[in-house]
């Protein structure tokens, strides 16, 4: 579908993003998400009377997953870039190069968890895919594009 073609969108040329650039952005975002989860835990402690959460507390784990979902979902649906994606000049768009919807963001988020759950194979797939797309890209009908500034 995308192949080696470059499409002109406004004044920026975009092309499918490569594996290493995507992983670098993922690491940046991981650090930022970690800080957000620390803050969310601090807020959660207020409601737990300052006591640590038990490791088997499913509500706390669900809370952190929900925070992560809204973190990624909001950035993906509002400009298509997290801080890590922006730093590496990447952008998430639908297959038709339009901004993604919350439905696509939801499918993408769940698909990304599945991609990681099999030892990261869903992410490594980018290396072998002709369009440089991971499993969660395919599932959500989205793609990560390299979008350098003009």
SS3 of 27, please? Answer: helix
Burial class (CB in 10 A: 0-12, 13-18, 19+), 39: exposed
pLDDT band at 9 (very low <50, low <70, confident <90, very high): very low
Closest CA to 92 of 128, 124, 123, 136: 136
Q: Strands (DSSP E) along the chain, which ranges? A: 7-9, 12-16, 90-94, 142-146
The residue ranking higher by pLDDT, 49 or 74, is 74
Question: What are 75-114's pLDDT values in tens digits?
Answer: 999 999 999 999 999 999 999 999 999 999 999 999 999 9
User: Strands across the sheet with 12-16, in order?
Assistant: 7-9, 12-16, 142-146, 90-94
Q: So what's the pLDDT on residue 148? A: 84
Q: Are 80 and 100 in contact (CB under 8 A)?
A: yes
Rounded mean pLDDT of the chain? 91
């Amino acid at each position: 579908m995308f192949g080696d073609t470059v499409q002109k969108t406004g004044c920026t040329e975009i092309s499918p993003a490569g594996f290493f650039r995507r992983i670098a952005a993922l690491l940046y975002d991981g650090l930022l998400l970690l800080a957000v989860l620390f803050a969310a835990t601090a807020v959660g402690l207020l409601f737990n009377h300052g006591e640590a959460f038990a490791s088997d507390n499913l509500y706390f784990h669900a809370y952190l997953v929900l925070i992560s979902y809204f973190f990624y979902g909001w950035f993906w649906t509002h400009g298509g870039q997290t801080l890590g994606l922006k730093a590496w000049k990447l952008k998430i768009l639908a297959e038709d190069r339009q901004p993604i919807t919350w439905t696509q963001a939801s499918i993408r988020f769940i698909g990304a968890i599945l991609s990681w759950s099999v030892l990261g194979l869903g992410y490594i797939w980018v290396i072998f895919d002709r369009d440089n797309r991971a499993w969660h890209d395919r599932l959500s009908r989205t793609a990560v594009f390299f979008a350098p500034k003009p």
